[in-house]
Amino acid sequence: MSETVKVPTMAEYMAEGKKPEVLFWVGCAGSFDDRAKKITKAFVKLLHNARVDFAVLGTEESCTGDPAKRAGNEFLFQMQAVTNIEVMNAYEIKKVVTACPHCFNTLKNEYPSLGGDYEVMHHTQFLKSLLDEGRLTVEGGKFKGKRITFHDPCYLGRANNVYEAPRDLLKKLEVELIEMKRCKRNGLCCGAGGAQMFKEPEPGNKDVNIERTEDALETKPDIIAAGCPFCNTMMTDGVKNKEKEDSIEVMDVAELIANAQDL
Amino acid sequence: MQYIPNILFVIALVAGIGYFTRNIRKVIRNIRLGKDVDRSDNKGERFKNMAMIAFGQSKMVRRPIAGVLHVIVYLGFIIINIEVLEIIIDGIFGTHRIFGFLGGFYNFLIASFEILALLVLVSVIIFWIRRNVINIRRFKTLKGWPKNDGNIILYFEVVLMTLFLTMNAADLQLQELGADHYIKAGSYPVSQFISPLFNGMSEGSLVLLERGAWWLHILGILVFLNYLYFSKHLHILLAFPNTYYGDLKPQGEFDNLEAVTNEVKLMMDPSADPFATPAGDEPEGEPEKFGASDVMDLNWAQLLNAYTCTECGRCTSECPANQTGKKLSPRKIMMDTRDRLKEVGDNIDKNGSFVDDGKQLLNDYITAEELWACTSCNACVEACPVSISPLSIIIDMRRYLVMEQSAAPSDLNNMMSNIENNGAPWPFNQMDRLNWSNE
């Protein structure tokens, strides 16, 4: 994707004396991971398309501290949190949207008691609200009739009880949504959570992402839909491990909607 | 002489309840060894959770077979205990079927007890088959005492239900014989089929049989009551407080350690004097430990969790780490916590107060390898039918490993130093955070 998209920063908004409707919290994966950057761009296109007045923190954004907290480093987590909260409070942020369930969970649940109280939405929830307000149109386009299964991210699903927003969006794409045998509150982890993304797994007889990919493959999908950059990596690796990467794509819900419209 | 049975009964009752009370006080004392945590909020929601999850068994039935069987045994337990009330009154005052005057309603009660007793018997036998014959992994992986404990409870139930039905069957014969003291009361839809086995027995033998079953039944109940403390079976009592005091936060929300917040605020406060001595009114002593290496570092709700756990293993069977062959088992986390807590309690009983025994929960019970295998996915928390959170213990122990011992796996240390230095878990410069927008 070489085409650049205009991404305003909070600093620019501040300089113009304006405030955006929503802060897009990009997150570390969304900023640096090559695969996740595509999700970020797809989401930005959808925001532009729906004429959402948004901004990002850009270089003022820093890790929410989620992986540090799950690894047990409460100090590092709170240092990150307090620093981020200072920045966000200085910009008088009210509403935040993020495409990462880990950022979403941390910002929504763990920042308030440290002084950071915002309305926090996962991008699938935000897109659903745009859809409901008639600002976004979601049409089947090229995915119409495709077999798609949605992998629930733990930090969106069980952790915060968000199960329907991503599914509602997928249904609008007129796809054939097939549930895995373990889904929603019984969904199996992709293996990345709890800071596992950043370490080798403990000895065992299988990797968690392989186990989960097998769940997904059982549904014979054309596409595995995800709502988390880390799940995306894990499932993509799983599909490659099963040598199915030529027939099965792993895509974020935002990418599916953007691609359906050829944005 | 005629009051000897009454006196013996009162002695058995007082001894049974007395010993049980003594042990329950130990359980409460041990739970209070935990740190304080405020669970006094949202009473309405807490009552609702207790009503739905413990009383209403809402999470049990998510696994329909085990769930429905459990509901039968649970209902049987609660309802048949109304009969125990009658037994106690009869035992103390030497009466027989004191509630018999209720007539039709009494018949209805006894009939329902009998039907429930039969259903309980059937369910318990199926439970035994599930535990010992069918290849169910969460039961198969139990070895030694935990396995025996599970079976002993089932044997108890079989014996108690059989005694109850035998007692009624003999009583029915005696009623039909018009024996003295045996008033015509009750309806016996199940034991009427057992009763013919005793045809032809003399009145004396029948009385002996009826009295024998009656005594063994009530003594059995008292023994079972006292067995609870030594077994995993305390859940029949503790499930209620445990679901009431359960964590109400979203499952993804981990608590922010207050001790850390204070330090972080001090570090971030430009006006703070870095060389200031602590305020004078603070008691001198050990600085607060971050995270948990032993049961006393956990909070009381986590310790209540440990006593409530009935080792069903639904948590472990849902755990992604366990399913893929890692050492972590959330059930073992709870069992270890309880075993260690019991050990600490016995230490206190012996020495008056806790004397360092050179052991702790970390390493002696739970290894770092288990703790690091967790993905924090909350599957174990979601699976628990009585609102136990193995995850919160895992995280508190990770906190100790990282903040007190700097003992994280090296990959995680790299990740954390990246966050510290670059504000991202990977070695990328924070100044490049927006580069994606013009790539």
Residue from A3, A7, A202 to probe the interface with B (highest B Cβ count within 10 Å): A202
Is B131 inside a domain boundary? yes
* Residue B247, token pair as written in the block: 């964590």
Q: Is A114 in Cβ contact with B372 (below 8 Å)?
A: no
Q: Is B378 in Cβ contact with A154 (below 8 Å)?
A: yes
Q: Is A58 in Cβ contact with B433 (below 8 Å)?
A: yes
Predicted-complex ipTM score: 0.95
Chain A CB contacts of B435 below 8 Å: 31
Chain A CB contacts of B379 below 8 Å: 154, 158, 186, 188-189
Q: Is B401 in Cβ contact with A72 (below 8 Å)?
A: yes
Q: What pLDDT does B267 receive?
A: 82
* B318 shares a domain with B195: no
Q: Is A212 in Cβ contact with B416 (below 8 Å)?
A: no
Domain ranges of chain A: 10-131, 137-260
Chain A CB contacts of B327 below 8 Å: 202-203
Instruction: Nearest chain B residue to A37 by CA: give it.
Output: B436
Amino acid at B25: R
Backbone angles phi, psi at B5, to 5 degrees: -60, -40
pLDDT in tens, chain B (439 residues): 678 889 999 999 999 999 999 999 999 999 999 999 999 999 999 999 999 999 999 999 999 999 999 999 999 988 888 889 999 999 999 999 999 999 899 999 999 999 999 999 999 999 999 999 998 999 999 999 999 999 999 999 999 999 999 999 999 999 999 998 899 999 999 999 999 999 989 999 999 999 999 999 999 999 999 999 999 999 999 999 999 999 999 999 999 999 899 888 888 777 777 666 655 555 556 677 899 999 999 999 999 999 999 999 999 999 999 999 999 999 999 999 999 999 999 999 999 999 999 999 999 999 999 999 999 999 999 999 999 999 999 999 999 999 999 999 999 999 999 999 999 999 999 999 999 998 8
Is B241 inside a domain boundary? no
Q: What pLDDT does A123 receive?
A: 98
Is B280 inside a domain boundary? no
> How many C-beta atoms lie closer than 10 Å to residue A67's C-beta?
31
Q: Is A71 in Cβ contact with B415 (below 8 Å)?
A: yes
Query: Among B377, B432, B427, B414, which Cα is nearest to A37's?
Result: B432
* B153 shares a domain with B24: yes
- With helix as H, strand as E and coil as C, how does chain A read? CCCCCCCCEHHHHHHCCCCCCEEEECHHHHHHCHHHHHHHHHHHHHHHHCCCCEEECHHHCCCCCHHHHHHCCHHHHHHHHHHHHHHHHHCCCCEEEECCHHHHHHHHHHCHHHCCCCEEEEHHHHHHHHHHCCCCCCCCHHHCCCEEEECCCCCCCCCCCCCHHHHHHHHHCCCEECCCCCCHHHCCCCCCCCCHHHCCCCCCCCCHHHHHHHHHHHCCCCEEEECCHHHHHHHHHHHHHCCCCCCCEEEEHHHHHHHHCCC
pTM: 0.95
- Identify whether the C-beta of residue B267 lies closer than 8 Å to the C-beta of residue B276: no
In B320-401, alpha helices (H):
320-323, 330-351, 361-364, 368-372, 379-383, 390-399
Hey, do A10-131 and A137-260 end up sharing a CATH topology, with the first three levels equal?
yes
Query: Which of B250, B374, B432 comes nearest A159 by C-beta?
Result: B250
CATH number for the domain including B326? 1.10.1060
CATH says A137-260 is which class? alpha beta
- Residue-number span of the structural domain to which B412 is assigned: 258-268+287-430
* B314 shares a domain with B193: no
Is B415 inside a domain boundary? yes
Q: Is B430 in Cβ contact with A62 (below 8 Å)?
A: yes
* B368 shares a domain with B227: no
* B320 shares a domain with B200: no
Q: What pLDDT does B278 receive?
A: 57
Instruction: Nearest chain A residue to B408 by CA: give it.
Output: A71
* B341 shares a domain with B198: no
Chain A CB contacts of B251 below 8 Å: 158-160
Q: How far is A154 from chain B (nearest CA, A)?
A: 5
Chain A CB contacts of B402 below 8 Å: 71-73
Please count the residue pairs, one from chain A and one from chain B, whose beta carbons lie less than 8 angstroms apart: 226
Q: How does pLDDT run across A120-140, given as a tens digit for each residue? A: 999 999 999 999 999 998 887
**Cα A137 from Cα A49, distance rounded (Å):** 9
* B340 shares a domain with B230: no
Number of domains in chain B: 2
Length of chain B, in residues: 439
Q: Is B401 in Cβ contact with A73 (below 8 Å)?
A: no
Residue B323 exposure: Cα atoms within 13 Å on the Cβ side? 19
* B292 shares a domain with B229: no
Q: Is A205 in Cβ contact with B250 (below 8 Å)?
A: no
Q: What's the fold here for domain A10-131?
A: Rossmann fold (3.40.50)
- Identify whether the C-beta of residue B181 lies closer than 8 Å to the C-beta of residue B93: no
Q: Is A154 in Cβ contact with B375 (below 8 Å)?
A: yes
Query: Among B264, B383, B243, B365, which Cα is nearest to B320's?
Result: B383
Is B244 inside a domain boundary? no
Query: Among A129, A206, B222, B66, which Cα is nearest to A120's?
Result: A129
